[in-house]
Amino acid sequence: MNTVTQSKPESVSRMKTLINKSMSAKPVNFQGEMGATVGSIHADNPRITCRNVNVFYAENHAIQDINLDIGTNEVISLIGPSGCGKSTFLRCLNRMNDTVEGCRVSGEIKIDDVDVYSKHLDVVPLRAQVGMVFQKPNPFPKSIYDNIAYGPKIHGLASTKAELDQIVESSLRKAGLWDEVKDRLDQPGTGLSGGQQQRLCIARTLSVEPEVILMDEPCSALDPIATAKIEQLIDELRQRYTIAIVTHSMQQAARVSQRTAYFHLGKLIEVGKTSDVFTNPLHELTQDYITGRFG
Amino acid sequence: MQTPYLLFTLLILSVLAYFIGKRRSVTVVEGALRELHSLPAYYGYYTALWGLIPALFLMLVWLSFEPTWLAHQTVASLPEEIKSLPSSKLNLQLNNIKNVAAGLQVSQRVDPLIVEAAEHYNRLRKISNFALTLVVLTCSLTGIWLAHKKINKDYRARNVVEKIMTGLMILASTIAIFTTVGIVASVVFESLLFFRQVPFFDFLFGLEWSPQTALRADQVGSSGAFGAVPLFAGTLLISSIALIVAVPIGLMSAIYLSEFAGSKFRSTAKPTLEILAGIPTVVYGFFAALTVAPFIRETGELWGWVVSSESALAAGLVMGIMIIPFVSSLSDDVINAVPQSLRDAAYALGATQAETIKQIILPAALPGIVGSILLAASRAIGETMIVVMAAGLAANLTANPLEAVTTVTVQIVTLLVGDQEFDSPKTLSAFALGLMLFVVTLALNVIALHIVRKYREQYE
């Protein structure tokens, strides 16, 4: 933590020089007193609040002093060049980083006012509440039915076979996959196409009725048609869930999200309404990235 | 030239040929390497292979026919009275001639006729040897010359070399297959001889094993009994005990090592476990006989049970310890090979570690785990030394692990140790036992494969 506090003024001054160098002098907005992030870190109706989040992989300081709120029924997209820490940040929210050896997290993350990194917190209900969809579709090597039924079974969400069938069907319907697979529920999920597999994984996540869904580049391995289906799905899911999505596609971020956060080298550089960030970025680094000058 | 020297010369020639071919390819295009079809090295390999393979093949054929030809020529030179001897006696004479020719001491006084024949034999061998050297070297040089002549910028040397290499790989892979076929054939052949003397069903279903054959009909204990059931029962008993010990311990340690242990602990614990596999089975044997068996007997006596000093339990327990590393090390590898993405998927659904392991990881790793258990089982079934030392030689038909039993492999060893006649049922029964063992393990493998195919969950 010490190194972090020391680095704050330095990063501010570095940013100032960066801004001074900027060709088109933009108004700089330092809302929220904490650290170097420009734009507003606050959401209207916050469900997740992160304060001073730092992550270390052994000696490597992967993300530094992140402050960010994520609102209810909001899709926030996390963008930035590879290795900037956006996936790491995402994995903090449901403590998936626990499985990485040598990973250390400090700071405060609260979901619905519950401290995620509290010693007393049990990660099992947390992860049921905060679902996650991964970059590469990772269906279990089980049947399509069992892929969806696995979560409800381990959490005891269904007491009868009929209830379980009901959950499976409604999850698959929500993920827009039901019509394609309803006649072959007993076939292995690994036999589906890439886009179908990813929607199966989304359906699996929905089956345990989470409140927050984290998506780590869910479309990076998919073709444009499958991507379009999943983007449409994300838009529909927004009505019921809070969604954070990591993406490398600026267009995707612009299409699906209401707010956008730009990460750079482990720091959160800029947060704002997606329309603002993409049309009128406050920070030079953000502008460079979204106009494709690097990254 | 003697064969090893000839081989060595051939190798040197082909190395030279490599450089000749390579140089030739470069001079043919006057250094403009882009115009060559293949890289210069391929022209080198091409030339070298032409210098080596036909010559080697010729040599092999020559050497395999040489002894027959020599024998034939030597016999032809012998006087009529020896030539007309029956073939077994003729062979004896021929052996004598060969021994004398090789300068070996022959026990009886040597017949001058034989000495003369031996000299003739040696002369013939020299001629043959000289001719072989000449032919092989000529063949090699001709090959190199032909290859050298063929090299031009459009010649596809790489394709030819690749084809030859593929052929060599096919040859290598078939050697193992042919060896297996050969072993099976020889065992089957000897077993058939055995079954001509002992009825097949008496062997398969007989309940008594006492493999002795009488020299005279009126001898005491002349009635040999060749019922294999007690041996297979003993093998099954000891192997089951071993697997009951090894599978749970091995699997649980594999799960601990791959899922729970830190990388530091794992990197020391795994090699340490594998040391177990490096202990010679003889050492396990006397550990079983001197430490475990007496301990079991004394413990049994405390409870008032009758325990023989050599027991199936002692052998099975120690054998179980011996095969733990097969189960744990291989299972650890396959569990580690299950993609992290599957674990992440389960954890992200809120599965506990136990649920993830039981319902996701173990099913995905099942084929490998079954494979490791099979390997351990075949080690247990084939294990001999521990059983000899700790479980004894008595062919009791019993399911009581506290009694002495014996196994198939132990009996095979005892049947073949020492001077034996190779046409008595006693000796031949070893081959029948071997055949049965082979069939049983093959059947086990097939069944296990079937089970794996039915229940496995295939990732990627």
pLDDT digits (tens, 9 = 90+) for A62-95: 989 999 999 998 999 999 998 888 999 999 999 9
pLDDT for the residue numbered B223: 62
ipTM greater than 0.85, yes or no? Answer: no
Nearest by Cα to A117 from A49, A63, A34: A49
pLDDT for the residue numbered B217: 61
pLDDT for the residue numbered A10: 45
pLDDT for the residue numbered A70: 93
Q: Which residue has the higher pLDDT, B251 or A12?
A: B251
A150 vs B364: CB contact, 8 Å cut-off?
no
Domains of chain B: 3-155 (no CATH), 225-455 (1.10.3720.10)
Q: Does B200 reach chain A within 8 Å, measured CB to CB?
A: no
pLDDT for the residue numbered B87: 79
pLDDT for the residue numbered B178: 94
CA-CA-CA-CA dihedral for A44, A49, A54, A57, to nearest 10: -110
* Residue percentage of chain B with pLDDT more than 70: 95
Q: Work out the average pLDDT over B430-443.
A: 90
Q: Give pLDDT < 70 ranges for chain A.
A: 1-35, 294-295
Q: Work out the average pLDDT over B83-104.
A: 80
Instruction: Give the nearest partner residue to B355 out of A131, A154, A188, using CB atoms.
Output: A154
pLDDT for the residue numbered B252: 95
Compute the nearest-CA separation of B274 from chain A (Å). 25
Nearest by Cα to B71 from B44, B41, B92, B47: B92
- Helix (H/G/I), strand (E/B), else coil: B104: coil
Q: Work out the average pLDDT over B195-211.
A: 86
Q: Considering only CB atoms, which chain A residues are within 8 Å of B350?
A: 124-129, 151, 154-155, 208
Q: Does B353 reach chain A within 8 Å, measured CB to CB?
A: no
pLDDT for the residue numbered A161: 94
Summary mean pLDDT of chain B: 87
* Residue bearing tokens 């014996």: B406
Residues of A with CB under 8 A from a CB of B: 94, 96, 99, 101, 124-129, 131-132, 134, 136, 138-142, 150-151, 154-155, 188, 190, 201, 204-205, 208
For chain A, give every domain's residue range: 2-141+210-290
> What is the fold, at CATH topology level, of the domain defined by A2-141+210-290?
Rossmann fold (3.40.50)
**CA dist B17 to A19, A272, B5, B31, B137, Å?**
70, 73, 18, 19, 13
Per DSSP, helices labelled H in B280-418 are 281-287, 293-302, 312-337, 340-348, 353-355, 362-382, 385-390, 408-416
Q: How confident is the model at residue B317 (pLDDT cuts 50, 70, 90)?
A: very high
A204 vs B263: CB contact, 8 Å cut-off?
no
A132 vs B458: CB contact, 8 Å cut-off?
no
